[in-house]
Structure formats: structure tokens, C-alpha cells
Amino acid sequence: MKPDVERKDSVVTDYMNLDTDGKKSYFSNAVKYERDSVYNADKSYAAFLKSKNYNRNLNYVLEKDHAKKSFNFYNKFKNVGLVVTDQELPKWKMENEFKKISNMNCQKAIADYKGRKWVAWFSKDFPVSDGPYKFSGLPGLVVSVKDREDDHVFELIQIKKISAVTAFIPKNNKKMSQDEYRKLIKGYRFSPGEDIAAMNVDSKAGTIGLELKDGYVTQLDYSKIKKSGADMDAVIDKMLRMSNNPIEKE
């Protein structure tokens, strides 16, 4: 993804999981899922702060209910759990164009969805009507999908069997409309006093372990922050800034 609409070279690559049993599916960040799993097992806060990094814009969990044809988008804003329910599926137009991707027979489909023009390749080799994010509704698994500007690109890395479909769905969520959520994120500005839940400076390792109230955990380069000569809060704010190039446009 390109989180900064004014800088097309601001490319971030991250890894997501799509866990499905054909009835429900959960789309979430792979590192966040791994981190939450480990913490729930041993409750080691030190290991929690030193866990791998992932992009803050990918802190959400997306739940699909295929029978109801609905999506529940879960995220946190500061320390408040939020849920946005959506029932708008992409309206796909299948093209008479085919190719192989990673030995899978794929067909092309296009859609105008949420303010962007999308190109997808799906495979009937895996007859699961699902895909990354909200991209479902095709007669097969979405293997690749991207918007025309290449601002958001999803590529399938691997498929494997899992013993159970699980997700860390937050409880006691405040319901919001899509417009309300969009305005909330658009108007967000980082504030150390309001956003930071815990911070650990390791001068020997040269890192700052940071946990935010929205559940995001990261390690920052302490020496890089010091060398900048700028106000530390301003530097951290820049590092943690939310995307101004969201996957769903107004």
C-alpha cells in the first residue's frame, strides 16, 4: 500500500491472514495475530513490546458473514473499540481473460467499489467465494486484486489448512457508520498523552518499545529519533501517522 497520497514512493509491504471455513472468515494482520496469540499464551509484556513490527494502518480485523452477506470492520480509536457494519459487496464484471498465477487457473474480473476501480484475478481451483479485505462474491478465491493506481495491491502468498478459524474480536464495541469512522480517522492527530499506554526505552539496544491505547505495538529506532534533532514527539508523530490514502475513498 501507499499510505501517503502525496508521495507515491511511500510503499509499505505487510502480511495479512485470511482464515475461512466457508461460512465466516477473518482478515487480519499476520504479525498482530501472532503477537496476540503469544501474549495470550504466556502474558509476557516484555516480549509483547519487543514483538515484530507491522503497519499501524493494518491494525483492524475484518469479519465476513457469507450467509448474511455482511462485513464487520473492527478497530480501536485510542482506547475505544469500534465496529462498522457494511453490506455493500463489490459488483463484479467477469472478463473473458485468463492466465495462470502460481500454477492456479485464474480469470479476470473488474469492479468500481468504494471510490476505486479494481482489477481482480480469481481461481475456481479453490471454490471459496472469498478474498482479501472485502473482495468476495466471485465464484472462486481472489488470488490477486489491485486498484488502477496501484495504491493498494493484494497478492496471495500461500494457502494452507488450519485446525480452526479463530480471531481476536474485541468486545463492547461502539457502532459507527462508515462516514463517521472516515471522519474520525481523517481528523486524527497523534498526542503522546492521549495515545501512549506504555513506553520502554532500551538505550543499549537503541530502541523505544511503544504500546498505544488502540492496541498497536511497535519498536522505534531511538538513535534515529535523537539524531534528527527535532522534538521527539513530532518525530514519533510522523512515524505513527495514519494513512491519508485510505482503501475506501469518500
Q: Which alpha helices (DSSP H) does the chain contain, by range?
A: 30-42, 45-49, 178-186, 192-195, 222-227, 232-239
Residue 191 has pLDDT above 90, yes or no: no
Residue 250 within any structural domain of the chain: no
- Confidence at residue 230, expressed as pLDDT on a 0 to 100 scale: 65
- The mean per-residue pLDDT over the stretch 212-236 comes to 80
Residue 77 within any structural domain of the chain: yes
Residue 8 has pLDDT above 80, yes or no: no
Residue 185 within any structural domain of the chain: yes
Residue 145 has pLDDT above 90, yes or no: yes
Q: Same domain for 72 and 97?
A: no
Residue 100 within any structural domain of the chain: yes
Q: Same domain for 168 and 52?
A: yes
Mean pLDDT score across all residues of the chain: 88
Q: Same domain for 82 and 188?
A: yes
Quick one: pLDDT band at residue 43, thresholds 50, 70, 90? low
Quick one: pLDDT band at residue 41, thresholds 50, 70, 90? low
Q: Same domain for 82 and 99?
A: no
DSSP notation for 57-100:
GG--EEEEETTTTEEEEEEEETTEEEEEEE------EEEEEEEE
Q: Same domain for 31 and 141?
A: no
Total domains, the chain: 2
- Confidence at residue 46, expressed as pLDDT on a 0 to 100 scale: 65
- Confidence at residue 44, expressed as pLDDT on a 0 to 100 scale: 64
- The mean per-residue pLDDT over the stretch 144-153 comes to 96
- Confidence at residue 232, expressed as pLDDT on a 0 to 100 scale: 74
Quick one: pLDDT band at residue 62, thresholds 50, 70, 90? very high
Residue 192 within any structural domain of the chain: yes
Write out pLDDT tens, residues 63-106.
999 999 999 999 999 989 999 999 999 999 999 999 999 999 99
Q: Same domain for 80 and 134?
A: no
Residue 48 has pLDDT above 80, yes or no: no
Q: Same domain for 175 and 66?
A: yes
Domain edge (last residue) among 135, 155, 175: 155
Proportion of the chain above pLDDT 90, given as a percent: 52
Residue 10 within any structural domain of the chain: no
Q: Same domain for 181 and 233?
A: yes
Q: Same domain for 34 and 140?
A: no
Residue 246 within any structural domain of the chain: no
Write out pLDDT tens, residues 120-140.
999 999 989 999 999 999 999
Q: Same domain for 178 and 77?
A: yes
Residue 221 has pLDDT above 80, yes or no: yes
Question: Which of helix, strand or coil describes residue 9?
Answer: coil
**Alpha-carbon torsion 232, 234, 239, 241, what sign?**
positive
- The mean per-residue pLDDT over the stretch 143-152 comes to 96
Write out pLDDT tens, residues 163-184.
888 777 878 899 999 999 989 9
**Residue 125 sits in which domain range?**
93-155
CA 85 to chain centre: 16
Asked whether 65 and 72 are in contact (CB, 8 A), the reply is yes
Q: Same domain for 24 and 77?
A: yes
Residue 6 has pLDDT above 70, yes or no: yes
206 - beta bridge partners? Answer: none
Q: Same domain for 82 and 170?
A: yes
Residue 146, all three cell numbers: 489491485
Q: At 192, phi and psi to the nearest 5?
A: -55, -45
Domain edge (last residue) among 155, 181, 204: 155
